[in-house]
């Protein structure tokens, strides 16, 4: 059974998608299989793994699966990624599409929060990990992801608003786990992203993280702000594919970060 991880934060741009795809790459490098589920209509994870919407040849997405709602139907939307080997052998994606927005209006339908969980049922049994990329919101799409997940991982930038949003995300899970039909749901850890510890404001926030979230929950290493991450995302390749220097260093950092997931999956 896959360990299902929802990566979220109420705030945009905190590294939910970067963490999703770079952890997927790191886990694949460890020989693990990963199913990435796009729950963000922005489709950033999909695009960064080389998938593009072809209006003439539409492929099934998580949006149609959720609309259908039948148990396990998301199997029809499992798609290969366009990254090179070995990543494309070990990572698959259930992509989002911009029309995933339309599912939000169905939130009031009875049982709507469980729909992603239902459609994923059995689909990821043969994977080691399922990583769900959430949108920057606490709304219905994120709620479906939190219902489907075994654990949540919160990404944050060490600055005031992102930390406040991480707190909101954590408190939402603690207060609403039962409403989300997932009473055991807990935050597994916090990823500190875009860290610039030489900035006073960042250093100040970093100092407070352990007390706020628990020292064992604030994962090391912190991911620093490096253009390699943006370059890999823009070029639609895994970090390591960009070559030596900063890209390889950052890929190694994600390998260390992925150890927290590997430990949790045992």
Ligand X SMILES: Nc1ncnc2c1ncn2[C@@H]1O[C@H](COP(=O)(O)OP(=O)(O)OP(=O)(O)O)[C@@H](O)[C@H]1O
Question: Rule CB under 6 A: which residues touch ligand X?
Answer: 12-18, 40, 42, 44, 136, 193-194, 223, 225-226, 229-230, 233
Residue 215, C-beta contacts closer than 8 angstroms, at least 6 positions apart: none
Interacting residues toward Mg ion by CB under 5 A: 16-17, 44
Give the max Cα distance, the chain: 52
DSSP state of 2: P
* Shortest distance (Å) from residue 183 CB to Mg ion: 27
* Shortest distance (Å) from residue 205 CB to Mg ion: 21
Q: Please answer whether residues 181 and 114 qualify as being in contact, where contact means their C-beta atoms are separated by less than 8 angstroms.
A: yes
* Shortest distance (Å) from residue 249 CB to ligand X: 12
Specify the residue, 87 or 123, whose C-beta has the smaller distance to ligand X.
Answer: 87
DSSP secondary structure, 198-246, as one string: TSHHHHHHHHHHHHHH-TTTB-SSPPB--HHHHHHHHHTS-GGGG-TTH
Q: Please answer whether residues 9 and 168 qualify as being in contact, where contact means their C-beta atoms are separated by less than 8 angstroms.
A: no
Specify the residue, 80 or 249, whose C-beta has the smaller distance to ligand X.
Answer: 249
* Shortest distance (Å) from residue 33 CB to Mg ion: 22
Number of residue whose CB is nearest Mg ion = 17
Specify the residue, 118 or 165, whose C-beta has the smaller distance to ligand X.
Answer: 165
Specify the residue, 62 or 123, whose C-beta has the smaller distance to ligand X.
Answer: 62
How far is residue 97's CA from residue 40's CA, in Å, rounded to a whole number? Answer: 8
193 binds, among Mg ion, ligand X, none (CB under 5 to 8 A by kind): ligand X
């Amino acid at each position: 059974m896959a360990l299902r991880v929802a990566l979220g934060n109420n705030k945009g741009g905190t590294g939910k998608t970067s963490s999703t795809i770079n952890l997927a790459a790191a886990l694949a490098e460890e020989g693990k299989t990963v199913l990435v589920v796009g729950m963000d209509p922005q489709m950033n994870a999909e695009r960064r793994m080389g998938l593009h919407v072809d209006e003439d040849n539409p492929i099934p997405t998580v949006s149609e699966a959720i609309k259908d709602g039948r148990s396990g139907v998301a199997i029809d939307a499992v798609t290969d990624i366009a990254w090179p080997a070995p990543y494309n052998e070990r990572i698959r994606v259930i992509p989002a599409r911009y029309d995933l927005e339309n599912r939000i209006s169905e939130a009031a339908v009875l049982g709507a929060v469980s729909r992603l969980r239902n459609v994923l049922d059995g689909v990821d049994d043969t994977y080691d990990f399922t990583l769900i990329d959430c949108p920057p919101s606490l709304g219905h799409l994120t709620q479906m992801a939190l219902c489907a997940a075994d654990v949540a991982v919160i990404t944050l930038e060490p600055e005031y608003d992102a930390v406040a949003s991480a707190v909101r995300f954590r408190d939402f899970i603690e207060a609403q786990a039962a409403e989300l039909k997932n009473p055991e749901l807990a935050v597994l850890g916090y990823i500190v992203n875009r860290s610039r510890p030489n900035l006073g404001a960042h250093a100040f926030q970093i100092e407070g993280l352990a007390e706020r979230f628990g020292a064992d929950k604030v994962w090391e290493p912190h991911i620093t702000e490096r253009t390699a991450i943006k370059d890999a995302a823009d070029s639609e390749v895994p970090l390591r594919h960009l070559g030596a220097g900063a890209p390889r260093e950052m890929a190694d950092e994600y390998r260390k970060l992925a150890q927290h997931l590997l430990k949790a999956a045992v």
